[in-house]
Amino acid sequence: MTRPYSTWLLVLLPPLLYIHHRYIFPKFLYPTSKQPRQKLIIPSSERVVILGSSSGIGRVIANKYAKRGAFVCVVGRRKEKVDEVVGECRKLVGGDVDNKIIGFTGDVADVDAMERLRGIIEHTPGWKGLDSLIVAAGVSSVKPLLDITPGVHRVVTAAEAALRGNYIGPLVAATTFIPLLSHTSPCPSIHLISSLASVIPAPTRSLYGSTKSASLVLYQALSIERPDINWSYVLPSTVRGKFREGAVDVWPGERDEDGSTPGPLTVDDAHGGAQEGLTPEQVADTSIHAIDTQHSRPIFIPGYMRLAHWIYWVWPGWVEERARRKYGFTV
């Protein structure tokens, strides 16, 4: 007798939740009286550090802030790439670029490196502090856990690399820069580029999803502990680019001659995946908008993926089957 009611609940719950979340809930939790951030910080005076901005989404974000005339610090692990992005940004900023666009080479998970970066930001003329910290750094994984061979030692090695890149890095960044943000900005902001895989499990992405989930929950907990800072997060689905080619669970001997990850990584990749999925520009635009509007709830990209998240808790088998198809996974 309860089966028809279960069916109607499954049909009606997602749209009702969407209406509640989109139109009703924000009016009570997020009052419209909050002063716009751009009235507190002039865009051309905003001081922005972008961790992981030597490529991908972070690189696009750096260019977009440079076009605004903001102070931009490009951070990455490869000096030649950092210098390349710094050059791009200096061409875009226009006018006097002295100290306005700077670069820093270092690992986000390296405490000493991040403390050196903080010192540079504190003492560079024109900067003397920080308004926005964007955490775009991270690493990928592309294999089912038990396909990481040979043996448990390799699994642990890959897991430690994923943990360092996707959790320890954001942890070090937050603890290093929160005091500087709080004391030097009229409206401090920390933005995390996470992943849909952090809230919806995906086959072949167990290390990636679990470590991205850890950093997302870390920042959400910190947002409760530090309400003086605006925390925002984006959760994009598949993004075009070469991010997966540096997967931590693929060893040098398993890579192609050009160093890339061999074979199709998803069903989309098998059909020309470089052209599939979101563009870095889409994620960058959403991220900047979230920072500007002080949006403090996770933003799913594309938006309808929030519905997939809800369905996962109501009908997990349906979502899991589609995840298997997407990643070409068979048991």
Considering the chain, what is the average pLDDT of its residues? 86
pLDDT value of position 295: 93
Q: For the segment 242-288, what is each residue's pLDDT rounded down to a tens digit? A: 877 788 988 766 655 545 554 444 434 433 344 578 999 999 999 99
pTM of the model: 0.86
Which phi and psi angles does 235 have, rounded to 5°?
A: -125, 80
Q: Among the ranges 11-25, 140-154, 219-233, which has the highest mean pLDDT value?
A: 219-233
Measure the CA–CA gap between 268 and 252, rounded to whole angstroms: 24
pLDDT value of position 49: 98
Q: Name the band, by pLDDT with cuts 50, 70 and 90, for residue 149.
A: confident
124-138 average pLDDT score: 96
Least confident range of 103-117, 173-187, 247-261: 247-261
Q: What percent of the chain has pLDDT over 90?
A: 71
pLDDT value of position 51: 98
Exposure string for 170-204, b = 16+ CB within 10 A, e = fewer: bbbbbebbbebbeebbebbbbbbbbbbbbbbbbbb
Higher pLDDT, residue 318 or 27: 318
pLDDT at 19 over 70: no
Q: Name the band, by pLDDT with cuts 50, 70 and 90, for residue 226.
A: very high
Q: N- to C-terminal Cα distance for the chain?
A: 35
Alpha helices (H) along the chain: 3-19, 25-29, 37-40, 56-68, 79-93, 111-123, 151-163, 169-184, 206-225, 267-270, 280-292, 305-314, 316-326
Measure the CA–CA gap between 288 and 301, rounded to whole angstroms: 13
Q: Name the band, by pLDDT with cuts 50, 70 and 90, for residue 185.
A: very high
pLDDT at 157 over 70: yes
Higher pLDDT, residue 271 or 105: 105
